Chain A
Amino acid sequence: MLFNSQVFLIFFVVVYGLYRLLPHRWQNVLLLVSSYFFYGWWDWRFLTLIFLSTVIDYIAGGIIYSAGPNQRRRKAAVVVSMTSNLVILGFFKYFNFFADNLSAVLQYAGLPAFTRHLNIILPVGISFYTFQAMSYALDIYRGHLKPARSFLNFATFVAYFPQLVAGPIERASNLLPQIENPRTITRAGIESGAWLIFWGLFKKCVIADNLAVLVDGVFGATGATGATSLLALYAFAFQILCDFSGYSDIARGLARWMGVELMLNFNNPYAALNPKDFWSRWHISLSSWLRDYLYIPLGGNRKGRRRTYINLALTMLLGGLWHGAAWTFVTWGAFHGLLLVIYHRWAEKFSPKGTPDSGRWLRLRRLWMFHLACAGWLFFRANSLGQVGDMVRSLTTNFSWNTDAANMLMAILIYCTPLWLVQWLQVKTGNLSAPMELSFLPKAALLATLVWMFLALGNTGGGAFIYFQF
């Protein structure tokens, strides 16, 4: 069920109507049932996977906590939890990738090829809810969290429908208490939630889905010129931002209407000044998950400079692989790992301390970082590494400006201008709610324009969110 579909609208109206009428305990029952219904609408068979993951982590969490000082028992429980989650994820997401690559390596070595290729359907959002469930057991193991008071609460935490299939990847320490305790719905929450839902839908339907048509036209064909390739890359940068942050905004808005505050997942990532800043603004819930449960356990920056760089690169490489079982994603992760390593080295050597950057220098750094991110998106979006090579070649040898490029540039400007205005205001004020705090005329003009664009230019084809496939 997609947020940008009429079916979801009906689903949410019914669920929300009941939600407002029920007492707290029954609200959680309703949330669990509706979350399973929401997920089962896509394919009910995969509900067993969520349920299995939920049961394993709930039991593991209980064992870890009750084991007290018995380290062996605690460790055994956490290992069982991690292994079972990773086996499920690995099988459904990575089996064919590893099998195909193993086969290629064996063939290359002149050995008999491993020909098993399973016809596996990737369950929507498996990477999101698996990571969310894993964080629960890990947090209890580290002593940061107490187990959930009831299975109902924990199952609701794992399957909470607004963020079930594409995040934010919530931590139990943030979401679980909000599910366990009675929630308060405020007028301010309703108003800010309404803005988040509308702005998220606008980003998805008007910007992302329209840019997708342009991007797919270039990446799905051969013989694009350098100019159209470059513009398609820019378009993809905004498409993926609006697609993913649009989903997160809608999720946060819906949750806010229910009195739940989900974590911030995007904070104007293209305003980042450097790779480190970028990852503190882009998919914050994943980058902080990787930092807390992978980078720091690997040693973080506590074991010397070289080890820090290795840890960074490894974390980003696995972050790339988390996105999808393809070499393009792995290369994208490796590229960002390399950027982070170079940045850390550069910052250690050259970064002046204590002198704030001037406005012009800040803008230049933002522009530079944006282009580095775009270079990464080339690996992310390309259908194969061969296509990356083709596009780079066309950029360098066949950069001819034609009508298609001029049209594409204008389309990007038309669709993205509202986004840039809103983000400019948010960055300038450091306030993500700034558009709602504008004075009469700009606010009325902004809302009227957004509604008009939504109706006149919105793509209502109900395109799926890109991150559903992860």
Chain B
Amino acid sequence: MKISPNKPGVREVECAFLRKYWLAFPLLGACSFLAVGGPFWQWVEGASISVHWANLLSWRTLSWAMASLVIPAIWWLGLHFPVRRRWTLLGALGLFLAMDLLLRTSFLQVPLWLAARTRLDSGQYFMREVCHVRLEENAGRQEPRPAVVLVGSSQVLNGVDTDLLRELLAPVPVIRRAMFGMTPLKALAMSSHMPFRAGDHCVLYLSEFDFTNQDEFPFAWFRPYASWRTLPGVLQSMSRRTKTWHWRRVTDYMLAATVQSWQVRDFLQQVAVHFWAPASQATRSGNDDVKTVLVTSARAELKHAPAEQRAFLRFAKRLAAHDVDMVIFEGDVNPAIYSPSRMAAKSQVRDFLVELTADSGQRYVSREEQGLAFTAEDWSDMSHLNSVGREKLTRRMAEVLSENTSMKREPTQ
């Protein structure tokens, strides 16, 4: 809609812009190359930025500047040889796909996860752990030897001292893939980000606590791990009613599995909003309510347990397909909250796990076999061990793993 007929046309404005600013492109190209050489990584790590302007004159920077001239050249060509509208749309699609593919490469993944991690509040546990996992994933698994892969919820994060376990099991590598709030359904969703290799041991710490997902469709949890390799299994584990009711979340999940920009959006937004540094103390969101709940209660509702059990069966099948052994340690919660209903749930989940491991020849280490009688002094709240309990569990876990599995076998070739 033309509002003012006396003004120049779009083409004239573009030509004038190119005539006036074409030199800005090589200059910006040189500056961006210069930034990648140092200031960019300083920004990623939230450090103060220093620029060595003298590097502008290096042959690499200058050649990058020359390469940047291709942009005004294509622009000029587009002005003088107009293309059909559909080619422009195809060009836009191509550019978008290129941007999305570029975001998948470690060239951008590493700075993204590092930048996001640097800008998180201390209370953003889940996002911090996602950054940790994705960074480790980008670094790749160097060690050829079969490893112990620790999978579980915050009970594992808080209850198992990974460094101590590494020390006790050395030279066997220990990889942590536990996440806050992880349940079997979430473990299945995340399994494409678990670096399993044949001969690995997947160690789980499971109890009724882990089958009590409170959210029927935890899409915020799924999104950063979405992948078409695991998505069908996750959706098949859910009931048809759940999928129909949460069709918007299903759409979100599928989009995240397809488009990287959508998958990492929470983290990109974190960087955009906290561009220079995390929020100051005054504006941080408090997690006091969550802490209060953890101290006084632990979830016990088995409403969504059927879906969790189906997901666990799929997860176990996936491990078997990768020739990965499974070792399940029976989990526990603070005895202060034992109740008849919790005990019933506990025994229900225990029967399910015992039956499953018996059928598949996997290892189930019951509480009795662990021989650990945690008292109230071993817990920091209703579901997480404190440092005393953590050390007890880690040492016992290391003993069981060393005694009962072929951990010390030679690296696979």
**A-contact 0/1 string along B274-314, CB 8 Å cutoff:** 11110110110000000000000000000000000000000
Given A410-B275, A457-B268: A437 in contact with B10 (beta carbons within 8 A) = yes
Say if the beta carbon of B89 comes within 8 Å of chain A: yes
Measured in the bound complex, the distance between the Cα atoms of B261 and A458 in whole Å is 10
Given A429-B7, A434-B10, A441-B71: A452 in contact with B96 (beta carbons within 8 A) = yes
Say if the beta carbon of B100 comes within 8 Å of chain A: yes
* Chain A residues within 8 Å of B280, by CB: 402-404
Say if the beta carbon of B251 comes within 8 Å of chain A: yes
Interface residue stretch chosen among A55-63, A81-89, A213-221: A213-221
Question: Out of B7, B10, B82, which one reaches A440, CB within 8 Å?
Answer: B82
Interface residue stretch chosen among B73-81, B122-130, B191-199, B237-245: B73-81
* Chain A residues within 8 Å of B401, by CB: none
B262 x A455 contact (CB < 8 A):
yes
State how many angstroms separate the Cβ of A189 from the closest Cβ of chain B: 12
CB under 8 Å from chain B, chain A span 419-460: 425, 428-434, 437-445, 447-448, 451-452, 455-458, 460
* Chain A residues within 8 Å of B77, by CB: 440
B8 x A428 contact (CB < 8 A):
yes
* Chain B residues within 8 Å of A431, by CB: 1-4, 7, 9-10
* Closest partner residue, chain A, to B15 (CB atom): A439
Measured in the bound complex, the distance between the Cα atoms of B2 and A429 in whole Å is 8
State how many angstroms separate the Cβ of A1 from the closest Cβ of chain B: 14
State how many angstroms separate the Cβ of A234 from the closest Cβ of chain B: 16
Measured in the bound complex, the distance between the Cα atoms of B277 and A443 in whole Å is 34
Say if the beta carbon of A40 comes within 8 Å of chain B: no
A447 x B92 contact (CB < 8 A):
yes
Say if the beta carbon of B140 comes within 8 Å of chain A: no
Say if the beta carbon of B272 comes within 8 Å of chain A: yes
B2 x A455 contact (CB < 8 A):
no
Say if the beta carbon of B188 comes within 8 Å of chain A: no
Given A440-B83, A457-B265: A448 in contact with B99 (beta carbons within 8 A) = yes
Say if the beta carbon of A384 comes within 8 Å of chain B: no
* Chain A residues within 8 Å of B75, by CB: 439-442
* Chain B residues within 8 Å of A406, by CB: 275-277
* Closest partner residue, chain B, to A435 (CB atom): B10
Say if the beta carbon of A407 comes within 8 Å of chain B: yes
CB under 8 Å from chain A, chain B span 66-111: 71, 74-75, 77-79, 82-83, 87-89, 91-96, 99-100
Given A447-B92, A457-B268: A439 in contact with B261 (beta carbons within 8 A) = no
Measured in the bound complex, the distance between the Cα atoms of B85 and A437 in whole Å is 10
B10 x A411 contact (CB < 8 A):
no
Say if the beta carbon of A6 comes within 8 Å of chain B: yes
State how many angstroms separate the Cβ of A94 from the closest Cβ of chain B: 36
Measured in the bound complex, the distance between the Cα atoms of B93 and A96 in whole Å is 53
**Residue in A407, A415, A441, A452 with the greatest tally of chain B CB atoms within 10 Å:** A441
A444 x B91 contact (CB < 8 A):
yes
Measured in the bound complex, the distance between the Cα atoms of B11 and A441 in whole Å is 12
A439 x B82 contact (CB < 8 A):
yes
Say if the beta carbon of B264 comes within 8 Å of chain A: yes
**Residue in A210, A403, A439 with the greatest tally of chain B CB atoms within 10 Å:** A439
Say if the beta carbon of B49 comes within 8 Å of chain A: no
Given A403-B277, A431-B2, A444-B95: A457 in contact with B78 (beta carbons within 8 A) = no
Measured in the bound complex, the distance between the Cα atoms of B256 and A456 in whole Å is 10
Given A430-B3, A440-B91, A444-B91: A414 in contact with B279 (beta carbons within 8 A) = no
A456 x B264 contact (CB < 8 A):
yes
* Closest partner residue, chain A, to B274 (CB atom): A407
Measured in the bound complex, the distance between the Cα atoms of B17 and A442 in whole Å is 12
B14 x A442 contact (CB < 8 A):
yes
State how many angstroms separate the Cβ of B11 from the closest Cβ of chain A: 7
* Chain B residues within 8 Å of A456, by CB: 261-262, 264-265, 268-269
A451 x B92 contact (CB < 8 A):
yes
Measured in the bound complex, the distance between the Cα atoms of B264 and A213 in whole Å is 19
- Number of contacting residues on A, CB 8 A? 44
State how many angstroms separate the Cβ of A447 from the closest Cβ of chain B: 4
* Chain B residues within 8 Å of A410, by CB: 272, 275-276
* Chain B residues within 8 Å of A34, by CB: none
* Closest partner residue, chain B, to A264 (CB atom): B1
B275 x A411 contact (CB < 8 A):
yes
Measured in the bound complex, the distance between the Cα atoms of B8 and A213 in whole Å is 38
State how many angstroms separate the Cβ of A396 from the closest Cβ of chain B: 21
B13 x A429 contact (CB < 8 A):
yes
* Chain A residues within 8 Å of B264, by CB: 456
* Chain B residues within 8 Å of A404, by CB: 279-280, 282-283
CB under 8 Å from chain A, chain B span 355-380: none
Question: Out of A217, A434, A445, A457, which one reaches B272, CB within 8 Å?
Answer: A457
* Chain B residues within 8 Å of A432, by CB: 1-3
Say if the beta carbon of B412 comes within 8 Å of chain A: no
Say if the beta carbon of B273 comes within 8 Å of chain A: yes
* Closest partner residue, chain B, to A196 (CB atom): B1
Question: Out of B4, B268, B273, which one reaches A407, CB within 8 Å?
Answer: B273
B251 x A441 contact (CB < 8 A):
no
CB under 8 Å from chain B, chain A span 375-420: 402-404, 406-407, 410-411, 414-415
State how many angstroms separate the Cβ of A201 from the closest Cβ of chain B: 15
Say if the beta carbon of A299 comes within 8 Å of chain B: no
State how many angstroms separate the Cβ of A268 from the closest Cβ of chain B: 9
* Chain A residues within 8 Å of B262, by CB: 455-456
Say if the beta carbon of B259 comes within 8 Å of chain A: yes
Measured in the bound complex, the distance between the Cα atoms of B79 and A460 in whole Å is 36
B261 x A452 contact (CB < 8 A):
yes
Say if the beta carbon of A182 comes within 8 Å of chain B: no
B283 x A430 contact (CB < 8 A):
no
Measured in the bound complex, the distance between the Cα atoms of B268 and A415 in whole Å is 12
Measured in the bound complex, the distance between the Cα atoms of B78 and A303 in whole Å is 57
* Chain A residues within 8 Å of B274, by CB: 407
* Chain A residues within 8 Å of B248, by CB: 6
Say if the beta carbon of A267 comes within 8 Å of chain B: yes
**Residue in B82, B93, B248, B269 with the greatest tally of chain A CB atoms within 10 Å:** B269
* Closest partner residue, chain B, to A413 (CB atom): B275
Say if the beta carbon of B6 comes within 8 Å of chain A: yes
**Residue in B88, B248, B251 with the greatest tally of chain A CB atoms within 10 Å:** B88
Say if the beta carbon of B340 comes within 8 Å of chain A: no
B99 x A452 contact (CB < 8 A):
yes
* Chain A residues within 8 Å of B1, by CB: 264, 431-433
A411 x B272 contact (CB < 8 A):
yes
Given A451-B92, A457-B269: A441 in contact with B275 (beta carbons within 8 A) = no
* Chain B residues within 8 Å of A407, by CB: 273-277, 279
* Closest partner residue, chain A, to B267 (CB atom): A456
Using A437-B10, A448-B93, A457-B265 as known contacts, list a sample of 12 further A-B pairs with CB atoms less than 8 Å apart, ordered by residue number in A. A210-B269, A264-B1, A411-B272, A434-B10, A434-B13, A437-B9, A439-B11, A439-B82, A443-B88, A444-B91, A445-B92, A455-B261
A interface residue numbers (CB < 8 A to B): 6, 210, 213-214, 217, 221, 223, 264, 267, 402-404, 406-407, 410-411, 414-415, 425, 428-434, 437-445, 447-448, 451-452, 455-458, 460
Q: Which 4 A-B pairs have the closest CB atoms?
A: A430-B4, A440-B78, A448-B95, A444-B91
Q: Could you name 19 residue pairs across A and B whose Cβ atoms are closer than 8 Å?
A: A214-B273, A267-B3, A406-B275, A407-B277, A430-B7, A431-B3, A431-B9, A434-B10, A434-B13, A437-B9, A439-B75, A439-B82, A440-B77, A440-B82, A441-B74, A442-B78, A447-B92, A452-B261, A455-B261
